[in-house]
Structures are given as C-alpha cells and as structure tokens.
Amino acid sequence: MLDPVILLPAAINGLTMGAVYALVALGLTLIYGVLHIINFAHGSLLMVGLYGAFFLYQAGGIDPYLSLVLLVPALFGLGYILQWGVIGRASHGSDQNVLLVTLGVSIVIENLALYFFTGDTRTIEAPYAFEMVDIAVARVPLPRLVAFGAALAIAALLWLLMAKTDLGRAIRAVAKERQGARLVGIDVDHIFAMSFGIGTACVGAAAALLLPMFYVSPHVGHVFVLVAFTVVVLGGMGSFIGALLGGLIIGVTESLGGLIFGETFGQLAIFLIFIAILLFRPTGFFGGRPS
Amino acid sequence: MTMRQGLAGGLVLVLALMAPLAIQSDFWLGFLITILLFAAMGMAWNILGGYAGQFSFGHAAFFGTGAYATSVLHIALGLNPWLGLLVAAAAGGTMGLLIGYLSFRYGLRGSYFALITLAFAEVLRILANTAGFTGGGVGLYLPLNIGVANMQFAGKAGYYYVALGLALASILIAWRLERSRLGAWLAAIRENEDAARALGVDTFACKLAAIGISGAMTGVGGWFYAHYYLYIDPEIAYGPGVSVEILLVAIVGGLGTVLGPLLGSVALHAAGELAQRLMGDTPGLNLIFYGVLLVVMVRLMPDGLAGLVRRWMRPAGGTQRA
C-alpha cells in the first residue's frame, strides 16, 4: 500500500495544498508580527475573498486567476478599514480585547454571508480544473501547481516589500519598537492598518488561487483558520520563512497522515501538532520569545 | 449585601419561582430555560475568564464532555440522569484539570491559552465524530421515558426549575468564591501574575482550581442540555458555537462580577429573539447581532452590563469594584 507510486503524488499534493496554507498563514503572521495580535477574523476574510472570486466568475465571467488583480486591492482596502476603523479603536490596546473584537468581526462576517448567500456549498467549474500535469511519477492537477507557484512568488514579493521598500522598513520599525517609531515621525496607526491590509491582501490572493480547486460556503474559513494558526505557531509567530516552511510541512502531514491512517487522522494530526508545539516549543522554528 | 440589594434579590427570586405559574406558553418557558442555562455556564466561564483572567475559547470541551459522559452512561448502563449530574461534573472537571495542567504547566497565557483551548475542543469534536460509542456524526438519542425519577418532565416547568436551580447554584458558587481566599488570589493573578507569584501565591494551583471548578460547572450545563433535548451530536457538543455563546454571555454581562453572566444571558438572548421577530427567522441573524454586540461592548462598555448597573445603583460616583 505504501508504494512510492501512491506516496509521492500524495506528498506532492500535500506540498501544493501546503503552499496555500502558507499563503493564508503569511498574512496571519505579518499581522501578528507587527501588531502583536491574533486575528481571529482571518478565516472569515478568506471566505469573503472566495465569495468575491466566485461571483466575479459566475456573474462577470472573470477567471479566478485574473480576479487576483481585483481581489488583492479590494481585500487590502477591507483590511485597512477594519483595522483602522474597528479593531484598533475598539480594543483599547489590550491583547485579549483584540481577540474578542476580531472574534466578533468574524461572527458578523460569517453570518452576514449565511444570511445573504445561504449555507449552500458552491463550486465553479473552470475549464482547466481537471487538467493534469506529470511530474516524475505523479500526476498533479494544474490548479494545484499554479497555486504552489503563485504562493511562492507572492511570498517572495512580500519578502521584497518588507526588506527593500520604505514601507517595509517602517513596518519593521513599528513591529520592533512602536514608541520609537512614533518619535521619529512614523504614523503608527497608519502602519498598523497597512500591515493588517497587506495581511488581508494575502488572503485575497489565496482565495483566488484556491477557488478553482476548492469550494465556498459561509463557514469555509473554519477549515483554514486553525490550520493557519498551527502553521504560524509551528513556524514561529511573526516569521515569514517559518510560515512558508510550516505551511508546507502541515500540508504534507495532512496529506500523508490522511492517506496512511484515514482522512480524519489527517485533520486530527494538525491539531495535535498545534497542541504539542504550543506546549513544548511555543516559539516555533524561527520565532522570538512569546509575549 | 445591603438591605436594599437583599430585598431586590428576594423579590426577583420569588418572581422567578412563580414564573411557570404565570407563563403557560412553552415557547417563553423554553426561552427562559435557555437564558438560565447559559447564565449558569457564563458564570462558569467567568470564574476562569473574569476572576482569574484566563480567556478560554474552547469551553465546549467541558460542555461536550459533560453531555457525552451522562448520555453514553445513561444509554449503555442505564445510569440515572440525576446521578448523571455528578458524573458530568466530574467529567467536565477532569477535562478542565487535564487541559489546565498541560496549558499552565507550560506557562501558556493570554492569546496562547485561548488558542490551545480552542484546539482541544476541536480535537474532541473530531474524536466524537469518529469514535463508535459516541454515535459518530449521527449523534446520540436519549430514550424517551417520562418520569421525575428519570428527569423527564411532561411540561417545560420541570426543566425550568432544574435550570433555575443550576443558575442559582452557580451564582452562589461565584458569590462564595468572590469572598474566599482563592477569589482574592485569582484576582491577584488576573491583575499581575508575576507580582502575585512574587508575593507567594501558588499561581499554578490557583489557576488549576479555577479551570477545574469552571470545567465541572460547564459539564453540568452539558448534562442539562443532553437530558433536556434528549439529543446531542459532535457539532452541538464540541462545536465552536457553544464556546462562543458562553464567552459572549460573560463578556456582555461583565467580567468578574457575580450577577454579570445572568444579565448578559438575558440581554443576549433577548436581543437575538428580538432580531428574529423583527427580521424573520433566518439562520445566522441572531448571531450577527451577537457579533455586533461583542464588538460594541468591548468598545464602549468594557466592564459590561454589570458595570452599567453598578454605576446606576451608585450615582454618588464611587469607582471601586464591588
């Protein structure tokens, strides 16, 4: 049963799914790294992105990969407004309040979706959805391969943004020392909102890449949010490389665990890893000390 | 307790005891039962979250464990539901100690603690979905067998009195706790854990006690739910819905106050019911209100409804905590 002919495709499929997890987790880890908050609404924002891509395809005939160009700025704007207008104001600077406020936001978003779009599970039928590509002995669906490549490219772009631009420098300054950053003239509230917006934009990109191979429903965010937390904790809160590596590891673990021990075990394995990491090494691979 | 507060409390109690005589409608009695059940569980959350300052996002772990413990034993071995109360409390409490031991032993605080409780609830949900003795995803039906000895009542009034008993017991526990040494230690941990430890408070033991009591009380909530609806499944028992509703009740009502969760439960369920009356019975509508309420409360009234009532009762402007 554990023939390489079965194992290798499963591992490659896991890697491609892991790249999407990584993309979702990159946004989460950026928000954590800068604002030091855990964004519970992250999964619901992914759901918003998925519905966006779905309706753009259904009503406007826009290919999901093309809708990337619209979804990334749209979700960036949504994230910016959310942090600037709601989360930043309501939380009074306390971590636990942020947790509660983002939880409240996610409840509202999810149930608005349930109210307007009903609980139906929707999928699109893209013409290339079942096209296969041969890699070594494995046949991999084309959308998964695209998602894998795009996720890596976006991670690279994000790294460039953080390392090379003035905005990136300002974000890193605020992440390290917000009082000092304020003193040298950085608008900290603006940088907070920018970081949250960029984090949300990652989710917009993930949504566009995910739609050709996944489904949409109001609760689809749940599938990803705990996985994304696991990835972030595994890689180390606030670490980009960690999120990327963590995403790939989790993707492969889920896929191989599911293949060998049954599908339930794949999900269970993620949560058990999560609990084990939190207990024994809460700093993950690349993280600093937990607050 | 002042004379005025005592009188007011007595009056509310008498009204609560007589409510089933005046309210004949099953619907409204059911509404009150939900309020009382969630008040009791909100109180349980409040002991850990409000007094000890440890926010749990996974109280479903205790609720579900209590519900499954009593249901499985009732179906398999014919355990009497009234004895099931003790079993559920023990099961919920044990789960609390287990999760608490692991989390606090490794020093998880704040957001990390919230995340790990959520993860534990999810693990239990997946396990309940797969295991054979829990009935898997289909859930468990408890056999219908009406009789007071079997805790099955012909009308809702019987259930109402049981739920009222749970709410009163939880208020009593919180009230006793607030005045006990443990209560003072927990408040010290909430305000500054390192300082509390430096002053010689055994913070690990105190937090463990808080999560044990909280887990046991929430397990009893699960016990009531199972015998009231005669049905549970993994989503009801361990899903995030219960965890969130319990947390909301405590936050909206007011953290670390004796009567907060009761006020919170009344306000939350009244708002949810009103929303459905006004805008139709669409799934998710009451939850939209819950979410907005959560954000608004954290923004405008961080000390909850109980804080509002306290300010209103004492217009002279004393600001210390009651």
Burial class (CB in 10 A: 0-12, 13-18, 19+), A61: exposed
* Residue A289 pLDDT class (50, 70, 90 cuts): very low
* Residue B258 pLDDT class (50, 70, 90 cuts): confident
Residue A1: per-residue pLDDT: 55
Please state the rounded mean pLDDT for residues B204-223. 96
Residue B220: per-residue pLDDT: 97
Residue A287: per-residue pLDDT: 65
Residue B148: per-residue pLDDT: 86
Nearest to B152 by CA among B92, B75, B226: B226
The pLDDT tens digits of the residues spanning A263-272 come to 777 778 888 8
A26: Cα separation from own chain's centroid:
6
Which carries the bigger pLDDT value, residue A264 or residue B43? B43
Q: Which of A268-282, B151-165, B257-271 has the lowest mean pLDDT?
A: A268-282
Say how far apart CA B124 and CA B59 lie, in whole Å: 12
Q: How far is B78 from chain A (nearest CA, A)?
A: 31
pLDDT > 50? residue B319: no
Strand, coil or helix: what is B145?
A: coil
Residue A2: per-residue pLDDT: 64
pLDDT > 90? residue B180: yes
A271 contacts B112? CB cut-off 8 A = no
Residue B73: per-residue pLDDT: 94
Residue B318: per-residue pLDDT: 46
Residue B315: per-residue pLDDT: 56
Taken as a whole, chain B contains a residue count of 322
Return the number of other C-beta atoms located less than 10 Å from residue A133's C-beta: 12
Chain A residues near residue B240 by CB distance under 8 angstroms: 222
pLDDT > 60? residue B44: yes
pLDDT > 80? residue A153: yes
pLDDT > 60? residue B2: yes
Residue A128 has which token pair? 């290339």
Chain A residues near residue B264 by CB distance under 8 angstroms: none
Q: B125, B295, B297, B300: which to substitute to probe chain A, counting the most A Cβ within 10 Å?
A: B295
Say how far apart CA A243 and CA A154 lie, in whole Å: 13
Complete DSSP assignment for B73-85:
HHHHH---HHHHH
The pLDDT tens digits of the residues spanning A105-129 come to 998 999 899 888 888 888 887 777 7
The interface pTM score, or ipTM, of the predicted complex is 0.82
Minimum Cα–Cα distance from B295: chain A residue:
A101
Please state the rounded mean pLDDT for residues A151-172. 89
Chain B residues near residue A274 by CB distance under 8 angstroms: 115-116, 119
* Residue A288 pLDDT class (50, 70, 90 cuts): low
Mean pLDDT of chain A: 85
Q: Are strands B140-141 and B231-232 parallel, antiparallel or unpaired?
A: antiparallel
Please state the rounded mean pLDDT for residues A32-57. 89
Residue A227 has which token pair? 């996985």
Torsion of CA A151, A203, A276, B61, to 10 degrees: -150
* Residue B256 pLDDT class (50, 70, 90 cuts): confident
Q: Which of A79-88, A185-194, A214-223, B73-82 has the lowest mean pLDDT?
A: A214-223
Chain A residues near residue B282 by CB distance under 8 angstroms: 115
pLDDT > 90? residue B100: yes
Most trustworthy range by pLDDT among B3-7, B79-83, B111-115 = B79-83
> What are the extents of the domains in chain A?
4-221
